[in-house]
Structure 1
Amino acid sequence: MKNIPLLLIYSRLLIGFGIIILSIFHVTHYSFLAISLLSIGLLTDIFDGIIARKLNVSSEKLRRLDSGIDQVFFISVAIATYLQCPDFFTSNLVKLIILISAEALTYLVSYVKFKKEIATHSIGAKIWTLVLFATLVEIMIHCKSVVLFELCLYIGLLTRLEILVIVLTLKKWTNDVPTIYHAVKLRQGKEIKRNKLFNG
C-alpha cells in the first residue's frame, strides 16, 4: 500500500513516453488516445499526493520526485503535441520561449539559492496545471488554441513569478508552500496551515 504514491508518480513517465510513441507512429484516433492518457496522467498527479498523505508516507524526497516527474511528463506531452501540430508551435514560438524561460528561471534561482529544485506545489501552480491541461487538449483536437493559450500563457507567467517570489522569500528550502503569504510566515519562523488534501 505504501508504494502506491510512488507507483502513481512513476506511471506518469510511462504515460508521457506512451503519448510520444503514439504521436511518432501517427496512430489512428491519436487525439482520443492521447487525451485519455493525458487525463489519466493528470489524475495520478492529483491523487499521488493525496494518497501519500493519507498513508502518512509524504516526504521531501517524494515531493521532489513528484515535481521532477511532472516536468518530464508535461515536456513529453508537449513534444508529442509538437509532432502532431508543428505549425501551432512555430506561430507561437516567441511566447513559448518566454514561458519556458520563466519556468527555467524558477529552477535556476532555486538551485542557486538552495542547491535544490523547486517543489512549492503552490495553489497558483495547481490552477495553472489545470489550464495547461485544457490548452493541451484543445491543441490536440484542433491543432490551434487562441483564448485558452493566451490564458495559459499569462497565468503561467504570473504563477512562475509567484514561485520566484516564494523561493526568494524563504530562508531555507521548503516543499509545499501554498502562497507568498505562507512563504512570509515561514520566513518569520511561524507555522503554516496546509490543506490536508493538497499540501504537505
Structure 2
Amino acid sequence: MKNIPILLIVFRFLMGPILITLTYNFGNEIRKELILLVFLGLLSDIFDGIIARRLGISSEKLRRMDSQTDLVFWLCVAWCSWILNPEIIIENAYSIAVIFIMEVLTYVFSFMKFRKETCTHAILSKLWGVILLLAFVSMIGFGHAGIPFFLAVFFGIVGHIDVYLIIYFLPKWTHDVPSSYHAYLIREGKSIKRHKLFNG
C-alpha cells in the first residue's frame, strides 16, 4: 500500500512520453483516446497525494517528486496539443509565452530565495490544473480553444502571481502552502489550517 503514491507518480511521468508517441503515430485518429489518458493522468495526480496523506507517508521528497512530475506531464500534454493543433498554438503564441515565462520565474524566484524549486501545491494552482485539463480537452478532443483556453490563461496568470507571493512571504522553504494568505500567516508566526484532501 505504501508504494501506491510513488507508483501513481511514476505512472503519470511515463504517461507524458506515451501521449506524445501515440500522437505522433496516430494523430487525429485517437483524439478521444488521448483525452482518456490525460484524464487518467490527472486522476493519478489527485489520488497520489490523498493516498499518501491517508497512509501517513506524505513527505517533502514525495511532494517535490509530485510537483516535478506534474510539470513534465503537462508539458507533454501541451506538446500533443501542438502536434494536433499547431494553428491554435500559433494564434495564441503570446498568451502561451506569458504562461511559460511565469512558470520559469517561479523556479527562478524560488531558487534565488531558497535554493530549491517551488512546491506549494496551492489551491489556485490546483484549480488552474483542472481548468487546464478542460482547455486541453477542448484542443485535443475537438480542435477548439475558445473560452476554456481563455480561462486557462487567466487562472494561470492569477495562480502564478499567488505562487510569487507565497515565495515572497515564506521565511523559509515549505511545501504544501494553500495560498499567499497562508504564507503571510506563516511569516507572522501563526499556525495555519491545511485541508486534509489537498494540503493535509
Q: Contact 1:85–1:143 at 8 Å: present in 2 too? A: yes
Post-superposition Cα deviations, 1:2-41, rounded to whole Å, max 9, x if no partner, equal 1110000110011111110111102574111110100000
SS in 1 for 2:194: coil
Q: Contact 2:99–2:156 at 8 Å: present in 1 too? A: yes
SS in 2 for 1:26: helix
C-alpha displacement at 1:180, in angstroms? Answer: 1.4
Q: Contact 2:28–2:84 at 8 Å: present in 1 too? A: no
Post-superposition Cα deviations, 1:142-170, rounded to whole Å, max 9, x if no partner, equal 22212111111011001100100010110
State the partner residue of 2:139.
Answer: 139
Q: Would you identify which runs of 4 or more consecutive aligned residues in structure 1 move more than 4 Å?
A: none
- Asked if residue 198 in structure 1 is aligned to residue 198 in structure 2, the reply is yes
Q: Contact 2:138–2:145 at 8 Å: present in 1 too? A: yes
**Percent identical:** 43
SS in 2 for 1:25: helix
Q: Which amino acid aligns with 1:69?
A: T
Q: Contact 1:13–1:72 at 8 Å: present in 2 too? A: yes
Q: Which amino acid aligns with 2:138?
A: E
C-alpha displacement at 1:119, in angstroms? Answer: 0.8
Q: Contact 1:23–1:81 at 8 Å: present in 2 too? A: no
- Asked if residue 153 in structure 1 is aligned to residue 153 in structure 2, the reply is yes
CA distance in 1, matches of 2:152, 2:21: 26
How do residues 8-19 of structure 1 correspond to structure 2 at under 5 angstroms? 8-19=8-19
The 10-residue stretch of structure 1 (139-148 or 63-72) with the greater mean CA deviation from structure 2: 139-148
- Asked if residue 108 in structure 1 is aligned to residue 124 in structure 2, the reply is no
State the partner residue of 2:130.
Answer: 130
Normalised TM-score (structure 2): 0.97
CA distance in 2, matches of 1:119, 1:177: 8
SS in 2 for 1:15: helix
RMSD value, Cα: 1.0
CA distance in 2, matches of 1:55, 1:199: 14
CA distance in 2, matches of 1:75, 1:149: 15
CA distance in 2, matches of 1:101, 1:36: 29
- Asked if residue 24 in structure 1 is aligned to residue 24 in structure 2, the reply is yes
Q: Which amino acid aligns with 1:50?
A: I
Post-superposition Cα deviations, 1:105-138, rounded to whole Å, max 9, x if no partner, equal 1111001110111110011001110000000000
CA distance in 2, matches of 1:48, 1:192: 23
Task: Identify unmatched segments of 5+ residues in structure 1.
Answer: none
